Amino acid sequence: MRIKITKSLVLNAQPLNTDHVPEALFPEGEYLANFTPDGKIELINTKKIKALFSFSQFREKISQGDFVVMEA
């Protein structure tokens, strides 16, 4: 799925390596998002950083206008 972030956001992030990254900047633009096996949605910033959302958190970001689903 592709989403568009309508304004730059600082989100809690999960590093894909051993470095500790508590928050990461997700600038305005388009991003890939995937469904995880445990029912979450991961938003990928770079190959090393991703943010995880529950479905309700993701839906809230859409309703606030922070995220726009470009392609499902």
> Model confidence over 25-65: pLDDT tens digits?
999 999 999 999 999 999 998 877 889 999 999 999 999 99
Distance CA 69, CA 31 (A): 10
Residue 33 one-letter amino acid = A
Give 23 or 15, the one with higher predicted confidence: 23
The model's confidence at residue 24, banded by pLDDT at 50, 70 and 90, is confident
Widest Cα–Cα separation across the chain: 33
Give 66 or 12, the one with higher predicted confidence: 66
Residue 38 belongs to domain spanning: 2-71
pTM of the full structure: 0.81
How many structural domains comprise the chain? Answer: 1
User: 3-state DSSP call for residue 30?
Assistant: strand
CA 68, chain centre distance (Å): 11
23 and 13 Cβ atoms separated by less than 8 Å: yes
66 and 45 Cβ atoms separated by less than 8 Å: no
